[in-house]
Amino acid sequence: MINKDELKLLRAALQKLEAGFVDLPDFEPEFDVVAVTNVLDEVAERMQDNYPYFHPQYVGQMLKPPHPVARIAYAMSLWINPNNHALDGGRASSAMEKECIVELGAMFGWQNPLGHLTGGGTMANLEALWVAGRLHPGKRVIASKQAHYTHGRISEVLGVPFSPVPVNTDGRMDVAEIETLLQQGDVGTVVVTIGNTGLGAVDALPEILELRVKYDFRIHADAAYGGYFGLASKLDHHTARAYENLSQVDSIVIDPHKHGLQPYGCGCILFKDKGVGAFYKHDSPFTYFSSAELHLGEISLECSRPGASAVALWATQRLLPLKKAGEFAGNLDLCLDAARDFHDRLAASKNFTPLMPPELDIVVYAVNASTTTAASERARRLFHTAAKHDLHLALIELPVTLAGFWLPNIKIDSETITCLRSVLMKPEHAQWTERIVALLEACAD
Ligand SMILES: *Cc1c(COP(=O)(O)O)cnc(C)c1O
């Protein structure tokens, strides 16, 4: 389950790396091998207290194991420990980051956008909304009620007014409600979620773009989770249209540490208009001396950032190019297959009722009961029972106005209902749905 062959590859890569520094006088950093061994022993034991995120029977939150090439490239680069703030701190890794940005931009149909990697999606969205606020000072940000919770909080940090927009029963932002808000005249930015975190629903981007004919507003696409699915070939019609129109938005966030096979600490912000780089302008008295070329710190809010993240992402995109019909895209199609198959199996079950058909690879399902309160209790109980049988799920609290539509036979006696939620984001899940549903059924009895 933990492939120790990766260590052989790491050793070989380190040997190759060291060959680039043989001109230096000999120098061997020292450490107490016995003491370190003892501590690592303790660490490994403590780390056993984790859910098995790497295993297909972990079918809960949005957690996907990094690709071995990412893990090894990341680890190897730690012997250099580059900092992508400035070229003074990370030369090759800064160049690799810029190449990754070009390729990520090309995936969305943008040639040479302004962009960089970030600590994660939250930081990337913060930069997007910060720039949006500079361009529409004092104006409101609006986002789906099912958008990531951080948008409201980021707006608070930035001191920008924020309004949530209700969703329809498909989990997508209600376009008529958006127009009502636009009519009030104080909306500067609409955040369109391309795959929301709870339900995997993709907001109706083409219809929202049409509103720009009548109203002046900026569109930021939060594709932190869903961004890569534009490469898949098995999207349904509505979903595919949203991706086809993504190049028309003003900024995009994508998280390589979600579906891009990267270790945590790898988000990305892209701006269509390179001109917004002017907002980042600042002077640092102690960096930016080694080169007149762009230092990534000149266009990002964070200062120090791990060059290792860029190295790992570059290695992954080298091995698995971001191409339609390529191996990476094929693996996304397997996740779509897994989610649809899982949904259909649940629909045929006596114990479960799935909500909306999955647009991406998230499936949300209720445990059958006569009332919403009883169904919530059953879901919470099943969550714990399943974990005892090594099946790991997630829970989601949804308003009955949304979930109730998919559960016509239930008596509504509460405002929200607790449902089970599974992200089938490992391609192996396509082979595991039958087993997972069988385990679920056994736990439900
Ligand atoms: C995960 C996620 C975020 C937050 O990203 P982090 O990398 O966890 O900071 C924002 N938006 C969406 C849609 C997400 O799925």
Summarize pLDDT for 335-364 with one digit per residue, the tens.
Answer: 999 999 999 999 999 999 999 999 999 999
What does the pLDDT average to over 301-315? 97
pTM of the model: 0.97
Q: Which atom of ligand 1 is nearest to the CA of 194?
A: 13
* Top mutation candidate among 63, 118, 197 for ligand 1, by most atoms within 8 Å of CB: 197
CA 398 – CA 375 distance, rounded (Å): 12
Q: What is the pLDDT of residue 293?
A: 86
Domain 91-319 sits in CATH at 3.40.640.10
- What mean pLDDT comes out for the span 13-29? 95
Quick: pLDDT tens for 280-305. 988 877 777 777 888 999 999 999 99
Alpha-helical segments (H) within 348-399: 372-388
**Across the chain, what does the average pLDDT equal?**
97
Q: Which of 230, 228, 306, 220 is nearest to 263 (CA)?
A: 306
> Comparing 91-319 with 327-444, is the CATH topology the same?
no
Given a contact cutoff of 8 angstroms between Cβ atoms, the answer to whether 436 and 59 are in contact is yes
Name the pLDDT band for 402 (thresholds 50, 70, 90): very high
Within 8 A by CB and 6+ apart from 29, the residues are none
Q: With a 6 A CB cut-off, is 148 part of the ligand 1 pocket?
A: yes
Task: Please indicate whether residue 203, judged by its CB atom, sits closer than 6 Å to ligand 1.
Answer: no
Tell me if 224 CB under 6 Å of ligand 1. yes
Can you read off the two tokens belonging to residue 112?
């040479």
User: What CATH number matches the domain at 327-444, 3.40.50.720, 3.40.50.1460, 3.40.50.2000, 3.90.1150.10?
Assistant: 3.90.1150.10
Tens of pLDDT, residue by residue over 28-45, are 899 999 999 999 999 999
Question: What's the 108 CA to ligand 1 centre distance in angstroms?
Answer: 18
In the reported structure, the alpha carbon of residue 226 is separated from the centroid of ligand 1 by a whole-number distance in angstroms of 10
Residue 215 has pLDDT above 80, yes or no: yes
**What is the structure's pLDDT at 282?**
85
Distance CA 330, CA 271 (A): 27
Nearest protein CA to atom 3 of ligand 1, as residue? 121
Looking at residue 281, its pLDDT comes to 87
The mean pLDDT of 48-77, rounded to a whole number, is 97
Please state, for a pLDDT cut of 90, what percent of the chain lies above it: 95
CA-to-CA separations, 423 to 36, 64, 121, in angstroms, rounded: 37, 9, 18
**Where along the chain do its domains lie?**
91-319, 327-444
Mean pLDDT of the 435-444 span: 98
Q: Which atom of ligand 1 is nearest to the CA of 148?
A: 11
201 Cα–ligand 1 center, Å? 14
Task: Give the pLDDT score at 76.
Answer: 98
Buried b (16+ CB within 10 A) or exposed e, 126-143: bbbbbbbbeebeebbbbb
Residue 121 Cα to ligand 1 middle (Å): 5
Q: Whose CA is closest to atom 6 on ligand 1?
A: 121
Mutate to test the pocket of ligand 1, among 122, 251, 264 (most ligand atoms within 8 A of CB): 122
The number of C-alpha atoms within 13 Å of 335 and in the hemisphere containing its C-beta is: 28
Sequence-separated (6 or more) residues with CB below 8 Å from residue 249 = 192, 205, 219, 220, 221, 272
When pLDDT is averaged across residues 152-175 and rounded to a whole number, the result is 98
pLDDT of 289:
75
Candidate from 145, 199, 225, 421 with most ligand 1 atoms within 8 A of CB, to mutate:
225
Residue-wise pLDDT tens digits, 183-211:
999 999 999 999 999 999 999 999 999 99
C-beta 105 within 6 A of ligand 1: no
412 CB neighbour count, 10 Å cutoff: 14
User: What is the atom index within ligand 1 of the atom nearest the CA of 193?
Assistant: 13
pLDDT at site 1 = 80
Ligand 1 centroid, distance to 149 Cα (angstroms): 9
pLDDT digits 0-9 by tens, 83-121? 999 999 999 999 999 999 999 999 999 998 999 999 999
Q: Whose CA is nearest to atom 5 of ligand 1?
A: 121
Separation of alpha carbons 360 and 396, rounded Å: 17
Residues 6 or more apart in contact with residue 136 via CB below 8 angstroms? 188, 189, 217, 218
CA distances from 91 to 79, 235, 429 (A): 14, 39, 39
Distance 265 CA to ligand 1 centre (A): 12
Sequence-ordered list of residues with C-beta below 8 angstroms from that of 13, at least 6 positions apart, any chain:
72, 73, 76
